[in-house]
Amino acid sequence: MTDSGKANSAKSRIVALCGGVGGAKLALGLSRALGDELTVIVNTGDDFEHLGLHISPDLDTVLYTLSGLANKELGWGRADESWNFMEVLRVLGSETWFQLGDRDLALHVERTRQLKAGRPLTSFMAEVASRFEIPAQILPMTDDPVRTTVITTDGPLPFQRYFVERRCAPVVEEIIFDGAATARPTAQVMAALRDPNLRAIVICPSNPFLSIDPILAVPGLRPLIEMAGVPVVAVSPIIGGKAVKGPTDKIMAELGVPATSRAIVEHYSGLLDGLVVDVEDGDDVAQLPVQTHITATLMKADEDRDRLAQAVLDFVGRIPDTANTVKAGCR
């Protein structure tokens, strides 16, 4: 092992960048392996105001997943949920396109109340994570409003209207992050990425366009990742040339990008030292300008999440810190 490799393995903090459901599966595996040595920086571009409430879908997915409260049948929201609120909304003729369970609702009401009173989102989420007994640090990418808008052939759509109401049917032409230009990374995000104990940065298998790009669009965040001097490794959200769930491959096709490992590396051009690729896409990795690790990446059960998390940790342990200085994109 090289000196830099030794130094790398002595450090213990992992920062993961994460969207919602796909990313949270790996974040759970990492959190079970690392406990309080994990920081998850979560996309807030999906946040929106609905029925007067501040909803943070990706943050809440990570929160519910890491606390064991996630609804595994639905794939979103809380387990053990009831739907009285939605039933009455329907009777009232109100907006019902976005489902809010009764237990989930309490989180949105309380968050909205506290944000209105001036509390930053980061501080509120830290308290909820602690009340839910989550050892990992869960950080919004910024406390400033960033709102993903999907420009489609049917016109511009706020993210949740595209994703939930229109079920990703409209053809995507462009994705923009309103507010990103003036958003600031929080002190907590900056501290995590500058932590001398930082061992690696992991980009979870989230949608690169809708979940990771908004994080990277926060000014200063990408340079902090580049300057961290530690391995940056992504887990591909593509298995067998397709997304496991959601519109990642559909959007890639609409934007003229093939659903391949190379395209993922190109998308994160200049950021990555390594890519974890599924066994089904193993043929696809020759000539990639980053190190690769080929393994089964489908996470159905908790054992899969644990196994993939360990594979990722082993992989970053094999990449010395100095790899960061010779990053290559495909362009």
List interacting residues with ligand GDP (CB under 6 A).
19-23, 25, 58, 205-207, 211, 235-237, 239, 243-246, 248, 278, 297-299
Name the minimum Å distance from CB 317 to ligand GDP: 20
- The nearer residue to ligand GDP, 200 or 299, going by C-beta atoms, is 299
Instruction: Give one word for 68, left, alpha or beta, with left for phi > 0 and alpha for psi -120 to 50.
Output: left
What one-letter code names the amino acid at 279?
V
110 SS3 class: helix
What residues form DSSP beta bridges with 138? 40
- The nearer residue to ligand GDP, 22 or 101, going by C-beta atoms, is 22
Name the minimum Å distance from CB 21 to ligand GDP: 4
Name the minimum Å distance from CB 246 to ligand GDP: 4
- The nearer residue to ligand GDP, 23 or 231, going by C-beta atoms, is 23
Q: What angle do CA 249, 254, 255 make, to 5 degrees?
A: 95
70 SS3 class: strand
Cα 99 to chain centroid distance, Å, stands at 21
Q: Which residue is nearest to ligand GDP (CB)?
A: 22
- The nearer residue to ligand GDP, 148 or 186, going by C-beta atoms, is 148
Name the minimum Å distance from CB 308 to ligand GDP: 8
- The nearer residue to ligand GDP, 292 or 297, going by C-beta atoms, is 297
C-alpha distances in Å from residue 309, one per residue of 24, 27, 33, 212: 11, 8, 7, 19
Name the minimum Å distance from CB 320 to ligand GDP: 25
Name the minimum Å distance from CB 265 to ligand GDP: 15
- The nearer residue to ligand GDP, 129 or 321, going by C-beta atoms, is 129
Cα distance between residue 85 and residue 93, in whole Å: 12
Is residue 308 within 8 A of residue 247, CB to CB? The reply is no
- Nearest to residue 282, comparing CAs of 265, 298, 268, 295? 295
